[in-house]
Amino acid sequence: MIMRRLSITTLTILAAGLISIGAQADTLRCGSSLVSLGDRTFEVERKCGAPVHRDPVGYTLGSYDRREYMIEEWVYGPSNGMLSILRFEGNRLTTIERRRER
């Protein structure tokens, strides 16, 4: 009985830790400003400046396949050996990825 309680507690703690790790990628600090998922391209450029590289990735269909949205990736950095890769769909920030520079 004690082992079962211990394993449930351990699983709960691990799940909470994994959830908090995912939340860290929802924002990016640019100087004293924060960029968040859902921000528009002009807001990100105003807060972070021009990216080092812009790459048009392609297009995706919006809800109900009524409109096509451009997918674009912006690269910032390196900052402390890390690159920040921001993906925009329809001029809205959808993902923030951090990678070590190779």
| 11/49 Cα distance (integer angstroms) | 42
**How far is the CA of 35 from the CAs of 40, 63, 64, 94, in angstroms?**
10, 25, 28, 11
Predicted model pTM: 0.71
pLDDT in tens, 23-66: 346 999 998 999 999 999 999 999 999 999 999 999 988 777 77
**Neighbouring-strand partners of residue 34:** 29
Residue 82 lies in domain: 27-100
Is residue 43 one of the residues assigned to a domain?
A: yes
Is residue 20 one of the residues assigned to a domain?
A: no
pLDDT at 67: 84
Is residue 57 one of the residues assigned to a domain?
A: yes
pLDDT at 23: 35
Residue 19: is its pLDDT beyond 90?
no
Residue 80: is its pLDDT beyond 80?
yes
pLDDT at 61: 86
CATH number assigned to the domain comprising residue 92: 3.30.1450
